Structure 1
Amino acid sequence: MSSHVVTPGPYRATKLWNEVTKLFRAGMPLKKHRLHFRVYMNCFTASAAVDWLHELLKINSNFGPEVTRQQTVQLLKKFLKNYVIEDVKGRRGMEDLEDNSQLYRFPSTSPRKTIPNCAPVLRKKSISMMDKEGFFKFRGSKKFNKKVLENVDPEMQESPTESALGETKRCRELTEEDIQVIWKNVTLTHLQKLLGSGSLDDVLDPAQVNPQFIVYNMMKVNKHGVVSLEDKKEDLPHWVLSAMKCLANWPKYNSNQPSYPGFERDVFKTVSCYFYSLSQPLLTYQYYELFVNILGLLQPSLERVAIEALQLCTLLLPPASRRKLQLLLRMISRMSQNMDMPRLHDIIGTRTLLVQTFNRCVLSCEEVDDLDELLATRLLLFLMDHHQEVMQVPVYLRNAVEDHVSYLKSLNTCPGPGVVMPTYSFCRQISTQEFEEHKLSVSQAALTDLLENLINDKSMSVKEKKQKLELFQKEYPDIYLKRFPTMESEAQLFADKPKIKPPMLLSIKKPNVFSIRN
């Protein structure tokens, strides 16, 4: 029942579905069963399927041990609806599935979902602010100004006027819009780095990211780190906020609160009904694919990376959504740890109930997704346990933006009139094949330069140079063959080296040896 981690990338939810169905079909034990005086081969009961699949999901690193049996039943119902399984009489789709002794089997057709072709990657035409490392390594580099300005895309330059030709060329001042774009680009660049992806285009539309939200979520926070809304109409209604405070601080919130049996359940129902009434989940439909990919980082060794990625992702949310998410996570985290909180359900524990109640209020897909509940459960559990760190304003992000803005403002002269400040990334679409060819040509050019530097290095001894050339030839034979197509061309490299003189002993004349014959 082992599985591999489905790494971040486009259509991760579909890949997870295919992974689960593959493991289920490959590992679910099939037996002979009797039903209504008839024997059915290679089938299984619904209860046996629930048992086996439940254990699989709990040990699967993509889902985790918090998966409940009821969630497993719901997933099997989706298996039946999507023709992953069918009952032994061949009925599927419309039939319902319960945790009982009903018999099911695997149909002969494959249940795998088709993964669409990924969108073409973006290739940068010039050095830009979206350079993967540039934001965090330039730190006032003296070479940055000249290198960037020499590579500004000519299409982005303004036509010079006659009066400008005779004047000292000055860069235009940064506008508020420029600074907001810097905020956006810094955030997305670092997020791309954390996800280990060459591009975010497959999981996020950068054009839909509002930089004003990022700036607001960074700057407009109260002393508790929660976003403060200027428009109170977007805030939680006072009666919902009061109910949430009551549950979060139970039983110390208000001594005048009612004390009738079941009061806490009524308050909890009030809060849950409000969040269910929202038009979309708190993480928004727009960022569903992005947060599903963050789930790929929820491994013990990548916990810090996941927290940092979630910090940046939640900055992209509308401020009203971020505030509601913060307050909800605070409430359910305190409730799950409060030993004085009465049971809110006769059977289900408080922590499990909280997750089952609010998981789809936090994350769900606009179109029906078969793994929505399982994915939302895993993400909400992580947010509950790490909400203080995740919802913290990242200071390093603010420092990176401020350093970058200060450096751009310090640039006084430009190489040409009307050159736009290199604040944006200028890209054009290319095919995946062209991208791979470009990547190969760049790496080969770098290796060719390395070989030439090795050949021309005069500080290296002949012996050491030969050893390194032999190693290079072994690792990169194609590039080495282009440089030395024949043995003669390779020998010519050391032809001008002085030959070692013969040993002195060979030039000494041998002494006459005495012979008795004389």
Structure 2
Amino acid sequence: MEGEARPGPYRATRLWNEITRYFRAGMPLRKHRQRFKKHGSCFTASEAVDWLHEVLRSNSNFGPEVSRQQTVQLLRKFLKNHVIEDIKGRWGSEDLEDNGVLYRFPSTSPVKPLPSSCREKENLETFSRDKERLFKLPHLSRRTVKKHELLDSLENLEKTEPDITKENKEDVLHRKEISQEYVQEIWRNIILIHLQTILGLPSLEEVLQPAQIVPEYVIYNMTNTSKHGVVILQNKSEDLPHWVLSAMKCLAYWPRNNDVNQPTYSGFERDVFRTVADYFLNLPEPLLTFEYYELFVNILDLLQPHLERIAVEALQICCLLLPPPNRRKMQLLMRMISRISENVDMPRLHDAMGTRSLMIQTFSRCVLCCAEEVDLDELLSTRLVSFLMDHQQEIFKVPTYLQVAVQDHIEYVRMAQGKYPREEICAILPTYSYCKQITPQEFEEQKVSTSQAAVAELLENIIKDKNLSVKDKKKKLKQFQKEYPLIYQNRFPTTENEAMLFENKPTIKQPMLSLRKPKFRSLRY
């Protein structure tokens, strides 16, 4: 199932369909006896939990943070949506426990229809005509319209005022170029280009609309920050309440920041944690907002070890799009739960659950969820919160390269207008040059092959290093074999190949080897 749910619109629904198909195809079925009666091609609830839990933990879309209880909840969704039914054919409820009750697969398909399928059928006749538009950024067509409008206005200006001087015309164009609206449009363009490139999508139309990008939010989030990079709000009424901030600070710096004047009793830290959790869980919408649900769900495909840097870059940009109050709350929440998880002095906050798992399970729903309930919401949000918590420092750093890109583009437009005064308006469109685009699969193959070649070169350097003693060389090779077993095996397919590197050295000193048995000469003459 790894990587089958391709990025794009309605990814949660696609992922649901892939899981249900994989579950139906891979879940082992066998005969079971229940109340003196044999039932064929079925499975117990516990068997389903065991099998599905292992699959979810090993899948990059969900990760090892998936708990057994979450797997049970997903199976309950399966029962509710008729992916499975009990041995008597009953379904529709969520009455499923981790026990020996028998279940089976129905004959009907569990696949959910995609919301866009109906529109695709209705627009089948116009698809070929609009196909080219789908593979362009939406803002390009909008800018083209504005471009023609500006050109028309300039033509009218030249007809009505033929005596206008060249200097005045350049001044008018210059004012248009540096207007606030123009700068905001550049921000939208650059953010869309970066996100489309990172996500590897032919179009962002159904994932992120240009109107959803508010440049004022982006600029505010990049410029109004504390020395620690946390957003500072001008309107304090939008900030966290003082009592919530105090509670979060108390937990984040426990026990150092625990005020001696505060009441301390057994279970005090649990009450403080429950206070913070209740506040965030009662917010009217998740911190990542309903509006950006599809965008963040598509980033989940990047949460894999070899794509970690790309995922961090994508989340850096996406978190800049949030309203400043949401970004500030996200920053403070991630900093708090990260500190709590790493704090060895923090008492247990739950009797049956580890601190890290408790943080993820508690706050996942208040970080990411859909306005309309999606069956995979909890698993998807758990995976995202786990990654956010581990990389919160990098993700909430301000990506200065975006600001540099905007400044470079404005500078380019100014230079182009000075050089080609009659082609100023054409320079409004993005003028970036890109290398030949490759598919995500080709990118991954090149990435793996390049990294493997570098590691293989490292192995050769260890082998050929004459300054290393035999003992140190063996130690380094053993460590290399542990870290990169496949590359090591390719270099040394057999033990004989490895032995040739270390020829058996004689244990007797070299001078003694030259001693030969003397030849006895005959006494006869």
Does the alignment pair 1:327 with 2:332? yes
Cα distance change on mapping 1:220 and 1:90 into 2, 3 Å: same
Aligned mate of 1:309, from 314, 323, 345: 314
Specify the alignment match of 1:213 in structure 2: 217
CA distance in structure 2 between the aligned counterparts of 1:58 and 1:7, rounded to whole angstroms? 19
Specify the alignment match of 2:488 in structure 1: none
Q: Which runs of 5+ in 1 are unaligned?
A: 132-147, 426-518
Local SS of the residue matching 1:160: helix
Specify the alignment match of 1:105 in structure 2: 104
State the AA in 1 paired with 2:80.
K
What's the CA shift string for 1:446-474, capped at 9, x where partnerless?
xxxxxxxxxxxxxxxxxxxxxxxxxxxxx
- 1:129, distance to aligned residue in structure 2 (A): 8.5
CA distance in structure 2 between the aligned counterparts of 1:127 and 1:96, rounded to whole angstroms? 46
Cα distance change on mapping 1:76 and 1:349 into 2, 3 Å: same
- CA contact 1:5–1:62 (8 Å) conserved in 2: no
Of 85-94 and 152-161, deviating more is 152-161
State the AA in 2 paired with 1:66.
E
State the AA in 1 paired with 2:54.
E
CA distance in structure 2 between the aligned counterparts of 1:64 and 1:278, rounded to whole angstroms? 27
- CA contact 2:43–2:103 (8 Å) conserved in 1: yes
Does the alignment pair 1:274 with 2:279? yes
- CA contact 1:14–1:113 (8 Å) conserved in 2: yes
Of 8-17 and 222-231, deviating more is 8-17
Aligned mate of 1:396, from 367, 384, 401: 401
CA distance in structure 2 between the aligned counterparts of 1:258 and 1:413, rounded to whole angstroms? 72
User: Looking at both structures, which has the greater relative contact order when contacts are Cα pairs under 8 Å and sequence separation is at least 6?
Assistant: 1
- 1:304, distance to aligned residue in structure 2 (A): 0.6
CA distance in structure 2 between the aligned counterparts of 1:127 and 1:354, rounded to whole angstroms? 38
- 1:29, distance to aligned residue in structure 2 (A): 1.2
CA distance in structure 2 between the aligned counterparts of 1:409 and 1:238, rounded to whole angstroms? 47
- 1:127, distance to aligned residue in structure 2 (A): 11
Mark the structure with the bigger radius of gyration.
Answer: 1
CA distance in structure 2 between the aligned counterparts of 1:165 and 1:179, rounded to whole angstroms? 31
State the AA in 2 paired with 1:25.
R
- 1:35, distance to aligned residue in structure 2 (A): 2.1
- CA contact 2:280–2:366 (8 Å) conserved in 1: yes
CA distance in structure 2 between the aligned counterparts of 1:351 and 1:129, rounded to whole angstroms? 42
Local SS of the residue matching 1:123: helix
Local SS of the residue matching 1:221: coil
Aligned counterparts, 1:15-414, within 5 A: 15-94=14-93, 96-115=95-114, 116-117=116-117, 123=133, 153-157=147-151, 158=153, 159-161=156-158, 162-164=160-162, 166-168=164-166, 169-170=169-170, 171-173=173-175, 174-253=178-257, 254-410=259-415, 411-412=417-418
State the AA in 2 paired with 1:217.
N
- 1:286, distance to aligned residue in structure 2 (A): 0.4
Q: Which runs of 5+ in 2 are unaligned?
A: 121-129, 431-525
CA distance in structure 2 between the aligned counterparts of 1:126 and 1:296, rounded to whole angstroms? 22
What's the CA shift string for 1:152-196, capped at 9, x where partnerless?
953442132421565324224121221122122211211111111
What's the CA shift string for 1:52-102, capped at 9, x where partnerless?
111111111221111100000000000001100000111101251111111
- 1:309, distance to aligned residue in structure 2 (A): 0.5
TM-score normalised according to structure 2 size:
0.73
Cα distance change on mapping 1:99 and 1:129 into 2, 3 Å: closer
- CA contact 2:137–2:204 (8 Å) conserved in 1: no
Cα distance change on mapping 1:74 and 1:224 into 2, 3 Å: same
CA distance in structure 1 between the aligned counterparts of 2:340 and 2:377, rounded to whole angstroms? 24
- CA contact 2:134–2:202 (8 Å) conserved in 1: no
- CA contact 1:129–1:182 (8 Å) conserved in 2: no
Aligned counterparts, 1:499-514, within 5 A: none
- CA contact 2:147–2:425 (8 Å) conserved in 1: no
Higher helix share: 2
Local SS of the residue matching 2:340: helix
CA distance in structure 1 between the aligned counterparts of 2:137 and 2:222, rounded to whole angstroms? 27
Cα distance change on mapping 1:13 and 1:164 into 2, 3 Å: farther
- 1:208, distance to aligned residue in structure 2 (A): 2.3
The CA RMSD over aligned residues, in Å, is 2.7
State the AA in 2 paired with 1:70.
Q
Question: Identity rate of aligned residues, in percent?
Answer: 58
CA distance in structure 2 between the aligned counterparts of 1:376 and 1:126, rounded to whole angstroms? 30
CA distance in structure 2 between the aligned counterparts of 1:6 and 1:219, rounded to whole angstroms? 37
- 1:10, distance to aligned residue in structure 2 (A): 1.6
Cα distance change on mapping 1:122 and 1:69 into 2, 3 Å: same
State the AA in 2 paired with 1:160.
L
State the AA in 1 paired with 2:253.
N
Of 92-101 and 341-350, deviating more is 92-101
CA distance in structure 2 between the aligned counterparts of 1:320 and 1:336, rounded to whole angstroms? 24
State the AA in 1 paired with 2:248.
M
Local SS of the residue matching 2:7: coil
Cα distance change on mapping 1:423 and 1:233 into 2, 3 Å: farther
Local SS of the residue matching 1:73: helix
- CA contact 1:281–1:364 (8 Å) conserved in 2: yes
Specify the alignment match of 1:140 in structure 2: none
- 1:5, distance to aligned residue in structure 2 (A): 4.2
Of 300-309 and 165-174, deviating more is 165-174
Of 60-69 and 331-340, deviating more is 60-69
- CA contact 1:130–1:189 (8 Å) conserved in 2: no
What's the CA shift string for 1:112-160, capped at 9, x where partnerless?
11122488667399999869xxxxxxxxxxxxxxxx99x9953442132
- 1:377, distance to aligned residue in structure 2 (A): 0.5
CA distance in structure 2 between the aligned counterparts of 1:58 and 1:196, rounded to whole angstroms? 25
TM-score normalised according to structure 1 size:
0.74
Cα distance change on mapping 1:257 and 1:379 into 2, 3 Å: same
Of 342-351 and 408-417, deviating more is 408-417
Cα distance change on mapping 1:6 and 1:399 into 2, 3 Å: same
CA distance in structure 2 between the aligned counterparts of 1:390 and 1:86, rounded to whole angstroms? 43
Local SS of the residue matching 2:39: strand
CA distance in structure 1 between the aligned counterparts of 2:427 and 2:134, rounded to whole angstroms? 13
Specify the alignment match of 1:456 in structure 2: none
What's the CA shift string for 1:207-264, capped at 9, x where partnerless?
2221111111111111110001010000000000000000000001123332200000
